């Protein structure tokens, strides 16, 4: 159970750094980016963030999420977005999931702490510093505190060249803060609705007298309650990084993070068995106040980069991750049903103890060369991810009936015999990749690449579960053309494939065919203000075939590969500096995804779950520059989406819009006060829908947070 929220936040802050001692420096980590979409505090170009003391601005010129070497986003024939440190700070974003959900073309399903991330109707891959933060076999994607991050890069659409196996949703890559070349730091204290208290600390600078060795340390701790009864959350997160200039051309970077979250969880409200949503009060809690959902995530990273005199660069990056989950609670196991005049729901025991440990490696060479009288660039590399997932999962189907109009929460959680599903799975994927950007003319570039991958899963399992499987040497290509119409505008077209091995068996015990698919995309990118403001537009068409479907009800582990899903749509985005103190990040997405072929005729025409046909996001800020209002910054955020459907389209939730407001006042050169109001009009809506009449996520109501920031 989470500790009492009455504790001093400063006491919790001192406690949160202790778990760092437990971090094993056993493995070195990741960063697959030469220079991700961020820049450091001195304005050294690392991609997108130029920190002035602490804040940062988004610069949409360079990216690495679509390739190991930094590239101008206008030269990449794919759809890209970035979230800089300035937005993370200005919106007072708590974690990466919140930031991703407010980005163009991205959708979040499930609860904020056990979320699925999708784009264009398909699941995305999740990276930190360009390497996987967990394997594809993982049951949960870790949530990373937003204060530790330097920014986030998003690629929408297939990422098969660098990632190998995967769905066509794309990849989300987080980057941590970087060590500083001069001493700087800041701290913050926040207080808000429902007992929210938070403390932050960030300091970095040179360690050696010559400045070749630099470091940075950041930490955050938080306690919060919610409008929903019983639900609570405590977090402690720490991060440290070192950089060393081994030579003027060789940089070594290591980093480590640890985060622990303790929650009294809530997995969403049920709908009625007749198929309609119920207008639950947001304070309604269905479960036991003795439940818990505790997670720990540790990540160690290392990277060495060397630049040769001829312009080529070699990079070796590696990571090691360790995720633990301890869940012990009662959750809904039925839709709402009528019992006389009462409306009831059944609760059942869920015990889940996961541990996943893994490591990733990436080695790449990239640089320019000349041939046939023209300049070109190439990248070749090798990557590997291996993990071991151990799961002890037990379910109790003896129901605890609860009246939804007057739910009892003081419920004992019974012990359950250790006879559940035990899994010990090992996942491995490795491959070689190459990418060529060939200058065909002064304004036309051919982008071509591919990856050959090997994937396997082995398992030692009791209970009805997946079996061992291996797939060798599958190929995922990409081909694109980019035309620079003028120095500020590029037009592009691309086609890319996906290939996803499926570790399932059919009724005869034979492995299922892999999921395969192809995306076609055309688009435009235009620099509107010398790199400070970027407009992009894209149209896409994706087909994916052979998705696995369970045959029979749970716990059946017999599957069949069936059907074709088609997703077509368009995206518009405007991001950057409008001038005169105005900043903007705005996007609109149209997604039309449905099943177009299936042996099961009832599936034809069904839409993707939790993917609205229309979605728009906006964050607009203004820094006042006149004497009267100097030091004041105001901002507003708007999210609007159309109707969403559950899996199978048996249930739908209406569209919604929400408005957030924020204000920052610079009290002095080193002190700021910030105020954030979420969901200003207290809109009550469903953020996502679950399955089988359960696990529908109601969005939170209006909340207010006040933050004091101090630089030193």
CA angle 95, 99, 105 (to 5 degrees): 145
Q: Which has the minimum average pLDDT: 69-73, 81-85, 95-99?
A: 69-73
Determine, yes or no, domain membership for 4. Answer: no
Determine, yes or no, domain membership for 3. Answer: no
Is there a contact between 381 and 432 (Cβ–Cβ < 8 Å)? yes
- CA 228 to CA 347: how far, in whole Å? 18
For 450-472, give the secondary structure using H, E and C.
EEEEEEEEEEEEECCCCCCEEEE
Mean pLDDT throughout 88-98?
A: 92
Mean pLDDT throughout 374-387?
A: 95
Determine, yes or no, domain membership for 375. Answer: yes
Predicted confidence (pLDDT) per residue in 53-81, tens digit:
333 444 446 777 777 778 888 999 999 99
- First and final CA of the chain: distance in angstroms? 36
Q: What is the pLDDT of residue 162?
A: 82
pLDDT of 256 strictly over 60: yes
Q: Which has the minimum average pLDDT: 175-189, 373-387, 621-635?
A: 621-635
β pairing state of 184-192 and 196-206: antiparallel
Mean pLDDT throughout 627-655?
A: 92
Reported in sequence order, the residue ranges of 26-133 that DSSP labels E, i.e. its strands, are: 62-63, 71-72, 79-84, 106-111, 114-119, 122-123, 125-128, 131-132
Is there a contact between 174 and 149 (Cβ–Cβ < 8 Å)? yes
- CA 539 to CA 489: how far, in whole Å? 17
Predicted confidence (pLDDT) per residue in 526-542, tens digit:
999 888 899 999 999 99
CA angle 550, 556, 562 (to 5 degrees): 15
Q: Which has the minimum average pLDDT: 79-93, 547-561, 570-584?
A: 547-561
Which tokens hold the place of 707?
Answer: 């933050």
Q: How far is CA 436 from CA 309, 383, 446, 525, in A?
A: 21, 18, 8, 21
Question: 473-506 b/e with 16+ CB inside 10 Å = b?
Answer: ebebbbebbbebeeeeebbbebbbbbbbbbbbbe
* Complete DSSP assignment for 115-183: EEEEETTEEPEEEETTEESS-TT-SSPPP-BGGGEEEEEEEES--HHHH-S--TTEEEEEEE----SS-
Q: What is the pLDDT of residue 30?
A: 27
Determine, yes or no, domain membership for 444. Answer: yes
pLDDT of 112 strictly over 50: yes
Q: What is the pLDDT of residue 696?
A: 93
Backbone angles phi, psi at 147, to 5 degrees: -70, -20
- CA 248 to CA 251: how far, in whole Å? 8
The overall longest dimension of the chain from CA atoms, in Å, is: 84
Predicted confidence (pLDDT) per residue in 424-456, tens digit:
889 999 999 999 999 999 999 999 999 999 999
β pairing state of 250-264 and 703-711: unpaired
Q: What is the pLDDT of residue 392?
A: 84
Determine, yes or no, domain membership for 2. Answer: no
Q: What is the pLDDT of residue 617?
A: 97
Per-residue pLDDT band for 615 (boundaries 50, 70, 90) equals very high
- What CATH number has the domain bearing residue 256? 2.40.170.20
- CA 53 to CA 448: how far, in whole Å? 40
Quick one: what percent of the chain has pLDDT higher than 90? 66
Q: Which has the minimum average pLDDT: 343-347, 412-416, 556-560, 638-642?
A: 412-416
- CA 310 to CA 361: how far, in whole Å? 25
Mean pLDDT throughout 668-696?
A: 93
β pairing state of 213-225 and 196-206: antiparallel
Mean pLDDT throughout 242-247?
A: 97
Provide the domain limits for residue 248: 9-711
- CA 421 to CA 491: how far, in whole Å? 52
Q: What is the pLDDT of residue 64?
A: 78
Determine, yes or no, domain membership for 693. Answer: yes
CA angle 142, 454, 503 (to 5 degrees): 60
Q: What is the pLDDT of residue 653?
A: 95
Query: What radius of gyration, in Å, describes the C-alpha atoms of the chain?
Result: 25
- CA 663 to CA 90: how far, in whole Å? 9
Per-residue pLDDT band for 394 (boundaries 50, 70, 90) equals confident
Q: What is the pLDDT of residue 420?
A: 55
* pTM, rounded to two decimals: 0.88
- Name which of 590, 623, 617, 34 is nearest 313 in CA terms: 34
Determine, yes or no, domain membership for 210. Answer: yes
Q: What is the pLDDT of residue 385?
A: 94
Q: What is the pLDDT of residue 521?
A: 98
Predicted confidence (pLDDT) per residue in 162-181, tens digit:
887 788 999 999 999 999 99
Please state the domain count of the chain: 1
Backbone angles phi, psi at 171, to 5 degrees: -145, 140
Predicted confidence (pLDDT) per residue in 329-358, tens digit:
888 989 999 998 999 999 988 888 899 999
Run of H or E including 15: helix 9-16
Determine, yes or no, domain membership for 621. Answer: yes
Mean pLDDT throughout 314-338?
A: 93
Q: What is the pLDDT of residue 467?
A: 61
Per-residue pLDDT band for 490 (boundaries 50, 70, 90) equals very high
pLDDT of 462 strictly over 70: no
Reported in sequence order, the residue ranges of 289-412 that DSSP labels E, i.e. its strands, are: 292-307, 313-332, 337-339, 342-371, 374-403
Per-residue pLDDT band for 418 (boundaries 50, 70, 90) equals low
Which tokens hold the place of 218?
Answer: 């950041």
Looking at every residue in the chain, the average pLDDT score rounds to: 86
Q: What is the pLDDT of residue 37?
A: 34
Predicted confidence (pLDDT) per residue in 8-56, tens digit:
333 433 333 333 333 332 332 223 333 333 333 332 222 222 333 333 4
Mean pLDDT throughout 449-470?
A: 78
Q: What is the pLDDT of residue 531?
A: 85
Question: 514-530 b/e with 16+ CB inside 10 Å = b?
Answer: bbbbbbebbbbbbbeee
Higher pLDDT: 622 or 509? It is 622
């Amino acid at each position: 159970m989470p500790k009492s929220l009455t504790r001093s936040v400063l006491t919790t802050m001192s406690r949160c750094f202790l778990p760092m001692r437990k971090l094993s420096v056993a493995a070195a980590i990741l960063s697959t980016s030469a220079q991700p979409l961020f820049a450091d505090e001195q304005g050294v170009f690392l991609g997108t963030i130029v920190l002035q003391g602490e804040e940062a601005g988004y610069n949409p010129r360079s990216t690495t999420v679509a390739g190991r070497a930094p590239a101008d986003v206008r030269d990449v024939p794919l759809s890209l977005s970035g979230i800089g440190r300035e937005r993370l700070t200005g919106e007072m974003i708590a974690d990466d999931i919140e930031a991703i959900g407010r980005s163009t073309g991205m959708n979040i399903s499930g609860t904020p702490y056990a979320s699925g991330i999708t784009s264009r109707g398909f699941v995305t891959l999740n990276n930190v510093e360009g390497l996987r933060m967990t394997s594809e076999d993982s049951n949960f994607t870790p949530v990373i505190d937003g204060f530790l991050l330097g920014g986030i890069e998003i690629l929408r659409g297939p990422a098969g060249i660098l990632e190998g196996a995967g769905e066509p949703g794309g990849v989300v890559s987080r980057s941590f803060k970087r060590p500083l070349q001069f001493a700087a730091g800041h701290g913050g204290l926040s207080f808000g609705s429902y007992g929210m208290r938070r403390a932050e600390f960030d300091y970095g600078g040179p360690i050696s007298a010559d400045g070749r060795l630099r470091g940075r340390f950041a930490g955050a701790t938080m306690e919060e309650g919610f409008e929903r009864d019983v639900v609570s959350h405590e977090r402690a997160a720490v991060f440290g990084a070192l950089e060393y200039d081994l030579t003027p051309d060789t940089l070594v970077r290591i980093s480590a993070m640890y985060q622990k979250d303790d929650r009294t969880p809530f997995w969403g409200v049920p709908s009625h068995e007749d198929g309609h949503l119920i207008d639950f009060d947001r304070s309604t809690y269905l479960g036991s106040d003795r439940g818990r959902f505790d997670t720990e995530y540790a990540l160690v990273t290392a990277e060495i980069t060397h630049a040769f005199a001829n312009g080529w660069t070699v990079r070796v990056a590696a990571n090691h991750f360790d995720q633990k989950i301890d869940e012990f609670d009662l959750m809904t196991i039925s839709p709402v049903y009528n019992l006389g005049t009462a409306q009831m729901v059944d609760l059942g025991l869920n015990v889940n103890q996961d541990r996943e440990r893994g490591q990733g490696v990436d080695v790449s060479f990239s640089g320019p060369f000349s041939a046939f009288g023209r300049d070109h660039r190439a990248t070749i590399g090798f990557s590997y991810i291996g993990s071991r997932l151990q799961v002890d999962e037990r379910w109790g189907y003896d129901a605890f009936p609860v009246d939804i109009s007057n739910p009892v929460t003081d419920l004992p959680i019974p012990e359950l015999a250790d006879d559940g599903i035990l899994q010990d799975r090992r996942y491995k994927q490795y491959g070689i990749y190459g990418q060529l950007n060939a200058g065909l003319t002064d304004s036309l570039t051919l982008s071509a690449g591919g990856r050959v991958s090997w994937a396997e899963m082995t398992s030692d399992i009791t209970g009805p579960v997946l079996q061992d499987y291996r797939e060798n040497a599958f190929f995922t290509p990409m081909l694109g053309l980019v035309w620079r119409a003028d120095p500020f505008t590029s037009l592009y077209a691309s086609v890319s494939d996906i290939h996803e091995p499926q570790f399932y068996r059919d009724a005869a015990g034979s492995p299922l065919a892999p999921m395969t698919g192809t995306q076609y995309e055309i688009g435009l990118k235009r620099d509107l203000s010398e790199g400070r403001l970027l407009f992009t537009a894209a149209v896409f068409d994706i087909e994916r075939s052979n998705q696995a479907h369970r045959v029979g009800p749970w716990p059946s582990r017999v599957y069949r590969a069936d059907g074709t899903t088609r997703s077509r749509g368009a995206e518009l985005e405007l991001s950057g500096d409008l001038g005169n103190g105005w900043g903007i990040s705005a996007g609109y997405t149209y997604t039309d995804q449905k099943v177009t072929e299936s042996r099961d005729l009832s599936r034809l025409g069904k839409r993707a779950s939790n993917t609205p046909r229309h979605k728009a996001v906006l964050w607009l800020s203004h820094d006042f520059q006149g004497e009267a209002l100097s030091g004041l910054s105001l901002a507003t955020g708007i999210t609007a989406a159309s109707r969403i459907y559950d899996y199978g389209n048996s249930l739908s939730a209406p569209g919604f819009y929400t408005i957030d407001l924020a204000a920052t006042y610079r009290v002095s050169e080193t002190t700021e006060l910030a105020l954030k109001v979420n969901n200003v009009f207290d809109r009550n809506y469903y953020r996502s829908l679950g399955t089988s009449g359960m696990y529908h996520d109601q969005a939170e109501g209006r909340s207010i947070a006040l933050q004091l920031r101090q630089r030193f």
